Structure 1
């Protein structure tokens, strides 16, 4: 058979056939009792990363109770609850999974099993899955509805070419992930060297200007961009700022004019409460200048650039997470106090510390470039999948 050729910009679908989803894939509904099984691997929806084909984490039977679904190596575990999270991963073991998933197995007479997971990650399939979900708080897909959905599928010769194309792209993405993991190990080793045995310096209160935001009146929050743009904890995530219409807020109160509560370029901002306490921080750029800092965010400001870089490294390390775990007060929401944060002691800026810090900074820059490249590659893969399907 000669190899089929594909023009992605002018894809001829005249000989594609339409199939119901239950003709494309089988729904595997074998049941498992976690308390009475020899299977060792449990996959919950929390173990599946959004928009990823690969499942890299798993639990054990001891983690769960209640009847679950059995899967076999090569099956697709698809999160039927909250389908907008786009969770559909390939099982690399035999095991069992959450009943909030569907276990799907490609019908090789209709679709190449190696192409099937890419089809499931197409906008065509995922948007259809979202559209047929039912329920408001936790929208869920029913197999009885999904199985009747119809999709166009190309001839097998075309599918095989597509599979090779998508697999090549996925292999490149996997190489990026391996490189990222290798960089991460070196970064963690450097952070350990910086903070484990170096001579202690002064607490943050003596090395930084430490402040917090203003005691706002939440009734004056608004979403219509009226007044002062707020810098809230929800806008700070793992070294970056998130600005989206759904979470952005402004403040119309006159007390928002006080300059001491305004963000300045270079400020290091740390939320003092939240479910991910100890993971979130970011350094303000010119873009964030003048935003209004709310009360539950600590701001650290210093003219010493190495002190700034040392604090950022500490916030990225497991040592900060251990500090938070030791000092946080857990009520309805975990939190630490400004007084506790001020007492954090960083190492003295000796020559070895500065040298390690410079290596750390170079690695972070390289990792940032890698993340950007990987994101572009993911977007390219997604665009190609959507051109095909």
Structure 2
């Protein structure tokens, strides 16, 4: 991924001739204010439009979305979230627009730091940790410019900065290409879901209540933070693999056992309607598993169909305080009645797509970890 030249740059990071600079020598704070009600600018960036750990802005709003004085930003500036700095939001601007007053608009001083290196510097652990340390306030800690400008940072000579910036932008381009591949695969997945389950007007259909039964999870009488037993399969555990609780052996007969082949649906809560495959363990009380009771329907086919119907299921949740899936809605969904061979073709297609998506996601995660490691090696 890195060239020999780029590896040499990193290996030769001798910091003996590096110099320390105050932050107000490294960057200027741009404080040009704009009234959203009278501006001709069309783009507004709030902190909600900036992703943590990303130097890019991928979403935007309009000035009509907000009121009150906002800050003007120009191409090349960096919007840095001064409120809740622990969220690590700092992204480079490639347009003329306005941004939240809960951010600093920072402009690199090219005499001290290469503007191409500046956004990566702001994402270094060194800078972010200092930003968090000097934040004040309880519920919404905020950075005061008077304190930030006095912080000192060690920087390499300008010629070395250019080499480092080139390396980090090369890594960024790799991540961008991988994200493009991922986006195409996700669109392809959605297109196939629509093709097989929405556009198909010819297949005979049957209501889901005739082919599946629903079994609700139970909370065991005893749960352990650690020890012998099997995982309590919450949605968080199923998504991340991080075990939150253990079901000890003495509670197994009062719990619902599941494994990797089970189709699960998140029944209660803000994400009610989400479809998941199980893991070995015991089903959480907020979830249900679907049991195929009619021969001729393959479990993976039913899962893919319900994945297509997830948004409909979520929109039909009932209950104000704690939303939950409407069982009547689930029962009356009509699923295509296909031969096993046709079901297997569809299953294999989606399995192949899913494997490709997971592989690209792994590559993106690896590339981001490497980029972050490089940033922290430098700073």
TM-score range for the pair, normalised by the shorter chain length: 0.7 to 0.9
Q: Summarize the alignment of residues 213-362 of structure 1 with structure 2, pairs less than 5 Å apart.
A: 213-214=217-218, 223=225, 229-236=231-238, 240-243=239-242, 248-250=244-246, 256-258=251-253, 261-278=256-273, 280-284=274-278, 288-289=279-280, 291-302=281-292, 307-317=298-308, 319-325=309-315, 327-350=316-339, 354-362=344-352
Moved more, 140-149 or 304-313: 304-313
Measured after TM superposition, the shift of residue 228 of structure 1 is 6.4
Equivalent pairs, count? 371
Deviation of 1:46 (Å): 1.8
| Mean Cα deviation higher: 206-215 or 225-234 | 225-234
Q: Matched residues in 1 for 2:56 and 2:103: separation?
A: 16
Structure 2 residue ranges without an equivalent (≥5): none
TM-score after normalising by structure 2: 0.87
Q: Is the 8 A contact 2:271 2:314 kept in 1?
A: no
Q: Which residue of 2 aligns with 1:162?
A: 164
In the alignment, does 2:120 pair up with 1:118?
A: yes
Residues 1:5 and 1:243: Cα distance change in structure 2 (over 3 Å)? closer
SS at match of 2:298: helix
SS of equivalent residue, structure 1 residue 334: coil
- More deviation in 353-362 or 267-276? 353-362
Conserved? CA contact 1:6–1:158, under 8 Å = no
Q: Contact 1:45–1:79 at 8 Å: present in 2 too?
A: yes
Q: Would the aligned equivalents of 1:45 and 1:101 in 2 still touch at CA under 8 Å?
A: yes
1:260-319 CA-to-partner distances (Å, cap 9, x unmatched) read: 5122331122212333344x43212xxx32x332322111244989733233323443x3
Q: Distance in 1 between matches of 2:275 and 2:296?
A: 17
Once the two structures are TM-superposed, the CA of residue 360 in structure 1 deviates from its matched residue by: 2.5
Describe how 1:12-31 pairs up with structure 2 within 5 A: 12-31=14-33
Task: State the TM-score, normalizing by the size of structure 1.
Answer: 0.85
Match status 1:211 vs 2:215: yes
Residue aligned with 2:180, SS: helix
Which of 71, 76, 101 lines up with 1:99 in the alignment?
101
Structure 2 residue aligned with 1:190, among 192, 201, 210? 192
> Aligned pair in 2 of structure 1 residues 228, 380: CA closer, same or farther (>3 Å)?
closer
Relative distance call for 1:59 and 1:312 in structure 2 (3 A) is farther
Give the Cα separation in 1 of the matches to 2:277 and 2:137.
40
User: Which stretch has the larger CA shift, 18-27 or 345-354?
Assistant: 345-354
Q: What CA distance in whole angstroms lies between the structure 2 residues aligned with 1:330 and 1:68?
A: 39
Rounded to whole Å, the distance in 2 between the matches of 1:216 and 1:257 is 8
- Paired residues of 1:210 and 1:342 also in contact (CA < 8 A): no
Q: How far apart are the structure 2 equivalents of 1:383 and 1:4?
A: 14
Q: Measure, in 1, the Cα distance between the counterparts of 2:130 and 2:194.
A: 47
Which whole-Å CA distance do the structure 2 matches of 1:384 and 1:4 have between them? 11
Aligned equivalents of 2:249, 2:138: Cα separation in 1: 34
Whether contact under 8 Å (2:255, 2:282) holds in the other structure is no
For residue 25 of structure 1, report the CA deviation from its aligned partner.
Answer: 1.0
CA shift at 1:222, angstroms?
5.7
Counterparts of 2:351 and 2:6 in 1: how far apart (Å)?
A: 48
Unpaired runs of at least 5, structure 1: none
Distance 1:67 1:309, change over 3 A: farther
How far apart in 1 are the matches of 2:304 and 2:144?
46
Pairwise CA RMSD: 2.8
